[in-house]
């Protein structure tokens, strides 16, 4: 087995790009991710298959490996390929049924012809009966053996069909998952965000939180992308523990996360956002590999109630504007979108 070279002493991005140039691989994002995984993977199958590509592999070869080991980068292609495999297996089963039906029809015709010969006058000799018996016995055994073989093939095709259907479901599931944090990805988030406005009765009790890790680029530059990914995973884990598995949580890109809160009021949503902020701030980032304490990270959050926006895009825009305000106001804080009338009423009460 060929293992990828050690990349701990060099910049991961530079190592990946150099490898791509040396091997003649086009600089597509999915190719970058595939090479990165090869260089940093402990998966022997991925290492072996990628190493076997040699110089200047075709994009088709790269995508074939990518669809197997990184299906989240090829959701459409993987699903289409798996669907085609399902249809092909179904076509094979149909062909087997037709073959068996054709064979049984021939057997039925032979039985009919034999019956007609037996009914004919003047054919009652023992030789004639022996001849009929040989024909029927041979045809019966042949038909049964071939039908048995077809049934076995049908069972095999059915098992393969079940496997492909399971594979298809897995591709569909992975197409909505972020590979680094294992949270829902931007595609799943956009779908869930749009669903908020499908039921006008529940809009008033839903809220959107967008969060961003403070100074993440500086942290990434200081420690490298591998440690940066660990920070993302650690942040996702703390957020999941704090919010509970029933709350929709996603990584929408880079160091940004989004949370959709159901059955909540403005005050409850603000309390949840603050609890999330404190939980992240209070969690030390201790590297499990080297035991080094990387300190703490903080997050900034923007909040908007769904009822205060006209639709999914507007809701995200308002929450994101509050996130920007939190970042520019010093970070590590929560900012909430407040409609103009509420702000005016608040000023009058002072």
- How many residues would you count in the chain? 350
Residue 189 · residue 176 · CB < 8 Å: no
Nearest to 72 by CA among 192, 169, 184, 179: 179
**Residue 44 in tokens:** 């022997």
Phi, psi (rounded to 5 degrees) for 146: -70, -35
Residue pair 322/304 in contact by the 8 Å Cβ criterion = yes
Q: Which residues on adjacent β-strands are paired with residue 211?
A: 257, 301
255 is known as an active-site residue: yes
| Residue 90: both structure tokens together | 């179904």
Q: Which of 49, 113, 198, 255 is catalytic?
A: 255
3-state secondary structure of 247: coil
Close Cβ partners of 268 (under 8 Å, ≥ 6 residues apart): 261
**Cβ distance 35 to 19 under 8 Å?**
yes
Helix (H, G, I), strand (E, B) or coil at 55: coil
DSSP-based helix, strand, coil % in the chain, nearest 5: 65, 10, 25
Taking the C-alpha atoms of residue 71 and residue 77, their distance in angstroms, rounded to an integer, is 9
Catalytic residues: 255
């Amino acid at each position: 087995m060929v293992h990828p070279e050690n990349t701990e002493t060099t910049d991961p991005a530079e190592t990946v790009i150099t490898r791509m140039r040396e091997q003649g691989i086009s600089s597509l994002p999915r190719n970058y991710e595939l090479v990165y995984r090869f260089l940093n993977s402990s998966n022997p199958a991925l290492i072996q298959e990628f190493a076997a590509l040699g110089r200047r592999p075709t994009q088709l070869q790269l995508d074939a490996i990518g669809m197997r080991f990184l299906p989240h980068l090829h959701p459409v292609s993987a699903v289409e390929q798996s669907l085609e495999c399902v249809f092909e297996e179904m076509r094979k089963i149909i062909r087997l049924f037709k073959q068996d039906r054709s064979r049984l029809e021939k057997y039925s015709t032979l039985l009919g012809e034999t019956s007609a010969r037996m009914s004919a006058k003047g054919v009652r000799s023992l030789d004639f009966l022996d001849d009929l018996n040989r024909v029927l016995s041979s045809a019966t055994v042949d038909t049964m053996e071939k039908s048995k073989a077809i049934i076995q093939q049908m069972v095999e095709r059915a098992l393969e069909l079940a496997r492909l259907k399971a594979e298809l479901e897995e591709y569909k599931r992975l197409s909505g998952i972020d590979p680094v944090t294992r949270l829902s990805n931007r595609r799943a988030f956009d779908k869930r965000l749009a669903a908020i406005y499908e039921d006008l009765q529940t809009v008033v009790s839903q809220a959107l939180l967008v969060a961003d890790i403070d100074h993440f680029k500086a942290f990434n530059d200081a420690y490298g992308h591998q440690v940066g990914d660990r920070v993302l995973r650690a942040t996702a884990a703390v957020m999941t523990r704090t919010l509970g598995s029933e709350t929709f949580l996603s990584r929408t890109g880079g160091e940004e996360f989004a949370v959709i809160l159901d059955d909540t009021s403005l005050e409850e949503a603000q309390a949840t956002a603050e609890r999330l902020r404190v939980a992240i701030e209070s969690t030390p980032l201790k590297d499990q590999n080297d035991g080094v304490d990387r300190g703490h990270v903080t997050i900034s959050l923007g909040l908007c109630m769904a009822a205060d926006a006209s639709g999914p895009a507007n809701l995200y825009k308002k929450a994101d504007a509050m996130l920007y305000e939190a970042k520019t106001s010093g970070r590590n804080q929560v900012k909430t979108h407040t409609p103009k009338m509420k702000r005016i009423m608040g000023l009058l009460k002072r």
